[in-house]
Amino acid sequence: MDKRKLSIKSDQDITVTRNRYGSGYKNKSIFLHEQKKLDPTSRETKQAINEINETYDPDAWLDQFKSKVFEFCSEKNIPTEWVENPGDDITLSLQLRNKYQHIIGARQAGLCLFEIHCCRDSLRQGKHENATTQALRLVQSYSNFLISTLEPTLNKGTHTSKNFKKPAKLTEHELQECFRYFEENKINPDTEIKYTAQKRWELTTKFCSKAFGKEIAPRTLDKKYAKIKNK
């Protein structure tokens, strides 16, 4: 293993690993791998296992893909307020592929929505082989969707990080709002089981993205929170 191509940072019981690239491997990937040591008998570990098990819910995954399509529609001012049932999803899919195909990414978004609908319908009917095939088709469609939205940037000819937006810093007010959200959301409202600290920070980063349109890593928020508490 070439350790020059990896950035490894450890802080107490958490290790964060990123790939390095570029001249002298000075650039770090935005994608990270976070490992945390847990006591196998602790409640936190049991909660973490439950949260992992929840990731195997196919409907939850399909909802995530669908939410990305709707985020795209919102950014492009494509109306979706009228979408209330599965039949409306198909109508929107057709609109994206026809009425809005002049918008880069719209046709691919429409194909994603179609595959989501078909996969969900096959699951409902117990046709698991069909659902698996449609899920794989969705992966390909979603990949094409992401590439299509980045195509204008990628085709500029300069493939450097300067073409992409750097994460915006949070204001003091925004940080306080994130900390308030973290402190208030301790229990899963559906199961009434306490969230792990890691899960709470993950939920807080999602709140931050939705409320302020800014991306920040859960670990970064955790460190900022700890500094304030230790003052």
Residue 227 CA to residue 44 CA, distance in Å, equals 23
Q: Tell me, what's the pLDDT at 125? A: 96
42, part of any domain: no
How many other C-beta atoms are found inside a 10 Å radius of the C-beta of residue 65? 19
Range of the domain at 205: 172-226
Q: Tell me, what's the pLDDT at 111? A: 96
How many other C-beta atoms are found inside a 10 Å radius of the C-beta of residue 225? 18
The residue ranking higher by pLDDT, 7 or 103, is 103
- Please, what is the average pLDDT of the chain? 87
Q: Tell me, what's the pLDDT at 166? A: 54
45, part of any domain: no
* Amino acid of residue 98: N
Q: Tell me, what's the pLDDT at 133? A: 96
What does the CA dihedral 75, 77, 83, 86 come to, rounded to 10 degrees? -60
User: Do 118 and 199 reside in the same domain of the chain?
Assistant: no
Residue 57 CA to residue 123 CA, distance in Å, equals 11
Question: Mean pLDDT throughout 19-34?
Answer: 82
Q: Tell me, what's the pLDDT at 156? A: 67
User: Do 62 and 98 reside in the same domain of the chain?
Assistant: yes
DSSP secondary structure code for residue 217 in this structure = -
Q: What is the pTM of this model?
A: 0.56
Half-sphere exposure at residue 194, Cβ-oriented, CA atoms within 13 angstroms: 8
Q: Provide the number of structural domains found in the chain.
A: 3
- Residues near 31 by Cβ (< 8 Å), separated by ≥ 6? 18, 19
User: Do 96 and 116 reside in the same domain of the chain?
Assistant: yes
The residue ranking higher by pLDDT, 3 or 203, is 203
Q: Tell me, what's the pLDDT at 28? A: 83
User: Do 119 and 74 reside in the same domain of the chain?
Assistant: yes
Q: pLDDT of 40-64, one tens digit each?
A: 888 877 887 777 776 778 998 899 9
User: Do 136 and 155 reside in the same domain of the chain?
Assistant: yes
User: Do 94 and 153 reside in the same domain of the chain?
Assistant: yes
Among residues 177, 231, 184, the alpha carbon closest in space to that of 208 is found at 177
Instruction: Assess whether pLDDT exceeds 60 at residue 20.
Output: yes
Per-residue confidence at 66, pLDDT binned at 50, 70, 90? very high
Which residues in the chain belong to E strands, given as ranges? Answer: 6-11, 14-21, 27-36
Question: Mean pLDDT throughout 204-218?
Answer: 88
User: Do 142 and 183 reside in the same domain of the chain?
Assistant: no
Q: pLDDT of 129-184, one tens digit each?
A: 999 999 999 999 999 999 998 888 777 655 455 544 555 688 889 999 999 999 99
Residue 228 CA to residue 139 CA, distance in Å, equals 42
How many other C-beta atoms are found inside a 10 Å radius of the C-beta of residue 90? 15
